[in-house]
């Protein structure tokens, strides 16, 4: 089995860039391209040559480097079919149920709308890794800009159904703020208390809290836990539909 090498680096104010590399086939993809300079530097640091950009959604902090990097390298840009007109330089349009071959690896693509209407998530089952863009964050989730609570909950439910050992990369370092908020809706969650302490320590040392694993998120992320009796009681929504509870938790975070 080939190895998928993964290199994450901070860029812009709070974004993460990620390179994935199939050494056997000498392919390197940038998961999103927040800015050309940081991606270029990361490629130089690793000695890798860019062949692909895999776009999760059209926002400028995820596509700002697309055209410059494509101009320099001739890389292929894959991205969401449902917002393809907003993704600079897109060559390959992907959506729900598609498989995308990246050397020895295959990405399974899910539509995960809500943050944007066309947002997609890439899951590499053999490498046990998913790239969730701005849909799921460590202990948080993306703001619902284009869609409603039901749409976003349905998207999160697709990620929630992946194997628990799946390693989840996301676009931003928002984790300390996410942890502070999570404790307001589920203060009695011991796993959450421990994780909040851990992420504060990591950040104090300048270390990333991304990636995470789905298993840890299922235990600590309030946006994946609408079934929690404590959350339901704290927001006064015992027994309501999970998408409604998700929506209320998201509304409270927006107003926090």
The binder of 217, among Zn ion, Fe ion, none, by C-beta within 5 to 8 A per type, is none
**Active-site residue 119, yes or no?**
no
Residues 6+ apart with CB under 8 A from 5: 20, 21, 22, 23, 46
Residue 172 binds Zn ion (CB under 5 A): no
Q: Is 111 a catalytic residue?
A: no
Binders in 108-147 for Zn ion, by CB under 5 A = 134
Q: Is 83 in the site for Fe ion (CB under 5 A)?
A: no
Q: Please indicate whether residue 172 is annotated as part of the active site.
A: yes
> Cβ distance 171 to 56 under 8 Å?
yes
Question: CB of 142: closest distance to Zn ion in angstroms?
Answer: 6
Radius of gyration of the chain (CA): 18
242 carries an active-site annotation:
no
| Binding residues with Zn ion: total (CB under 5 A) | 2
DSSP state of 133: T
Q: What distance in Å separates the CA atoms of residue 170 and residue 174, rounded to the nearest whole number?
A: 10
User: Alpha-carbon dihedral of residues 48, 80, 101, 40, nearest 10 degrees?
Assistant: 0
In the residue annotation, 57 being an active-site residue is answered as: yes
According to the binding rule CB under 5 A, does residue 59 interact with Zn ion? yes
Catalytic residue among 21, 32, 52, 59: 59
Query: Judged by CB under 5 A, which of 32, 111, 134, 217 binds Fe ion?
Result: 134
> How many Cβ atoms are within 10 Å of 202's Cβ, its own excluded?
14
Decide whether 171 or 222 has the Cβ nearer to Fe ion. Answer: 171
Question: Which residues make up the interface to Fe ion (CB under 5 A)?
Answer: 61, 134, 171
């Amino acid at each position: 089995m080939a190895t998928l090498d993964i290199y994450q680096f901070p860029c812009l104010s709070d974004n993460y860039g990620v390179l994935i590399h199939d050494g056997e086939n000498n392919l390197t993809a940038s998961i999103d391209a927040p800015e050309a300079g940081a991606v270029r530097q990361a490629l130089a640091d690793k000695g890798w040559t860019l062949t692909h950009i895999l776009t999760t959604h059209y926002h400028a902090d995820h596509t700002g480097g697309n055209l410059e990097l494509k101009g320099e390298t001739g890389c292929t840009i894959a991205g969401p079919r449902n917002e393809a007109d907003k993704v600079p330089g897109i060559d390959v349009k992907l959506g729900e149920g598609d498989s995308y071959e990246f050397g020895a690896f295959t990405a399974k693509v899910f539509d995960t709308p809500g943050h944007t209407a066309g947002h997609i998530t890439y899951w590499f089952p053999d490498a046990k890794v998913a790239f969730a863009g701005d849909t799921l964050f460590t202990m948080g989730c993306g703001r619902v800009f284009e869609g409603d609570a039901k749409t976003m909950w349905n998207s999160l439910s697709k990620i929630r159904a992946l194997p628990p050992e799946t390693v989840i990369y996301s676009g931003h370092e928002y984790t300390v703020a996410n942890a502070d908020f999570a404790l307001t809706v589920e203060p009695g969650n011991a796993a959450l208390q421990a994780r909040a302490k851990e992420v504060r320590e990591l950040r104090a040392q300048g270390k990333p809290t991304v990636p995470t694993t789905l298993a840890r998120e299922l235990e600590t992320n309030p946006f994946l836990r609408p079934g929690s009796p404590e959350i339901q009681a704290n927001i006064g929504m015992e027994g309501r539909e999970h998408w409604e509870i998700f929506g209320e938790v998201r509304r409270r975070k927006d107003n926090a």
